[in-house]
């Protein structure tokens, strides 16, 4: 076999990766981002064992994931960015779900449902959900997450509905809940 064919075979595109390999790559990159936050250094090598921002950005670009920059959007911490990309990877196949932030992207409850449904597809029929039934979506996602994965219910359907109604969605609350989903579901 020629060298070019061997190299071509060894290269796996992210879109073709199975869940386990993608998860391992994500963990490597997230660990690198956290290390980079604690000990900043000019790590420009995208193949660094630490992961690093360049590698993490490459994962997002390979998956076709993008977020608006500027225009009044606050910069996220590397941990928030890593969890956001993790959510986008898990929900990219769901219609009507586009996660771009930890505020408005979660307002209709479909993002919560898609994230939980990704891990527990037998628990409910995602195709029957409607963005107009946001409170029912919150209840479904939070109750399913608690029942199947033990995700704490510190964020309730009433909390989310109140935040959306008052136009004051707290990104820290959503991020904290999603972090728990990550913590509880990634070991499944």
The CATH class for the domain spanning 75-188 reads: mainly alpha
Measure the CA–CA gap between 125 and 129, rounded to whole angstroms.
7
Residue 96, both tokens: 């009507």
Could you give phi then psi for residue 80, rounded to 5 degrees?
-65, -40
Question: Average pLDDT in the 183-188 region?
Answer: 79
Residue with tokens 């090598």: 45
Predicted confidence (pLDDT) per residue in 141-179, tens digit: 999 999 999 998 889 999 999 999 999 999 999 999 999
Residue with tokens 């690198």: 32
Res 80: pLDDT: 87
Predicted confidence (pLDDT) per residue in 16-32, tens digit: 556 666 666 666 555 55
Res 118: pLDDT: 95
Per-residue CA distances from 52 to 36, 66, 81, 99, 165 (Å) = 7, 18, 12, 22, 38
Task: Please say if the pLDDT value at position 44 is more than 70.
Answer: no
Q: Which class for 132: exposed (0-12), middle (13-18), buried (19 or more C-beta within 10 A)?
A: exposed
Closest CA to 113 of 96, 104, 188: 96
**Confidence band of 72 (pLDDT split at 50, 70, 90):** very low
Spans of all domains in the chain: 16-64, 75-188
């Amino acid at each position: 076999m020629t060298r070019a064919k061997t190299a071509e075979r060894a290269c796996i595109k992210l879109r073709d990766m199975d869940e386990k390999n993608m998860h391992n790559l994500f963990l490597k990159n997230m660990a690198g981002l956290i290390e980079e936050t604690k000990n900043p250094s000019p790590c420009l090598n995208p193949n660094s064992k630490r992961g690093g921002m360049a590698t993490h950005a490459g994962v997002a670009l390979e998956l076709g994931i993008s977020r608006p920059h500027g225009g009044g959007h606050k910069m996220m911490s590397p941990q928030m960015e890593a969890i956001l990309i993790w959510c986008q990877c898990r929900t990219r196949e769901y219609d009507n779900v586009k996660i771009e932030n930890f505020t408005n992207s979660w307002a209709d409850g479909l993002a919560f449902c898609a994230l939980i449904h990704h891990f527990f597809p037998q628990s409910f029929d995602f195709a029957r959900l409607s963005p107009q039934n946001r409170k029912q979506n919150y209840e479904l996602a939070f109750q399913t997450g608690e029942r199947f994965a033990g995700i704490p219910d510190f964020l309730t359907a009433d909390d989310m509905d109140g935040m959306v109604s008052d136009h004051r969605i707290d990104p820290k609350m959503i991020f904290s809940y999603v972090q728990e989903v990550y913590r509880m579901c990634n070991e499944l």
